[in-house]
Amino acid sequence: MKIGIFDSGYGGLTILSAIRERLPEYDYLYLGDNARAPYGTRSFEVIYAYTLEAVRYLHSCGCRLIILACNTASAKALRSIQQHDLPEINSNLPRERQVNVLGVIRPTVEAVPSITRNGHIGILATPGTVSSQSYVIELEHIAAASGRSLTITQQPCPMWVPLIEAGEHNSPGADWFVRQYIEGILALDEHIDTLVLGCTHYPLLLPKISELLAGTGIRVVAQGGLVADSLSAYLMRHTEIAQDLSHGKSCTYLTTESADKFSTSASLFLHQEGIIATTVTLA
Ligand code: DGL
């Protein structure tokens, strides 16, 4: 059985890449719902429905564990899928044919309090993730439990995912939107010392973000390494799941859009030649 990695589009490749570096031995199946990206401006009902379709599809392809490598899907759909859908999907299946689903927000919020020095944290995310308040709720929960005071500020960045999906993230035109949202969040709290890239697409804008923040001392947190570490720890705790996973070191790419377009873009994003994708239909 495989590990499925799901995102609305190309962003989850940043998570896949970090996970494969940390856990190269397993077999992976990546699914990008590029035909329906971006998810970040869609309603709860639509994101939940699309994400559930993806989970069912990846399970039907032999995934024992699925990572929602998308903050928007993790914020809007993960809880409902875990509580309402997985019990039904897994009923009457032997353990080794069942599926578990994890998100990317929890591993991130668990790490961020030890990265910030002054407790002022900025969250850059899609409008859907921001409106869900998932980061604020989970970070405040951790702050309350540890007795530490955290000041959390959010900035929706609606133009960043469309720019990246269109392959325009290195273009001069992207500079304007990077500056707009970074300056926007720092205007809301000038004391921010840690900026969380709360969308798996955003690391592709990291060169431009780092250039803009050069000399400020502000730390920028990308999620790949955090999610990879958390998955590794999860598999050590859940040996019953780890033992169901096959060790073929393979990775298969699926997209709901053009396979050629995905193959070209994914090769660029992963700095890896020869990625071949297959087009699939979810609904
Ligand atoms: N990579 C997704 C995330 O982490 C992007 C969501 C979108 O499609 O807008 O939120």
pLDDT in tens, 50-72: 999 999 999 999 999 999 999 99
Fold for the domain defined by 106-222: Rossmann fold (3.40.50)
* pLDDT tens digit sequence for 182-197: 999 999 999 999 999 9
Cα distances from 61 to residues 23, 40, 264, in angstroms, run 20, 26, 24
Q: Residue ranges of the domains in the chain?
A: 2-103+225-279, 106-222
CATH class of 2-103+225-279: alpha beta
Do the bridges between strand 151-156 and strand 120-125 make them parallel or antiparallel, or are there none, so unpaired?
A: parallel
The DSSP code sequence of 18-67 is HHHHH-TTS-EEEEE-GGG---TTS-HHHHHHHHHHHHHHHHHTTEEEEE
pLDDT of residue 165: 87
CA-nearest residue for atom 2, ligand 1, is 70
Q: Is 37 in the pocket of ligand 1 (CB under 6 A)?
A: yes
Q: Is 203 in the pocket of ligand 1 (CB under 6 A)?
A: no
Ligand 1: distance of its center to the CA of 50 in Å? 13
**Pocket test residue of 36, 48, 161 for ligand 1, highest count of atoms within 8 A of CB:** 161
Q: Is 126 in the pocket of ligand 1 (CB under 6 A)?
A: yes
Ligand 1 atom closest to Cα of residue 125: 10
* pLDDT tens digit sequence for 112-146: 999 999 999 999 999 999 999 999 999 999 999 98
Just list the catalytic residues.
70, 199
pLDDT of residue 271: 85
**Band of residue 269 on the pLDDT scale cut at 50, 70, 90:** confident
- Contact of 11 with 73, CB cutoff 8 Å: no
Q: Is 129 in the pocket of ligand 1 (CB under 6 A)?
A: yes
**pTM, entire model:** 0.95
Ligand 1: distance of its center to the CA of 94 in Å? 33
Asked, colleague to colleague, whether 2-103+225-279 and 106-222 share their fold, the answer is yes
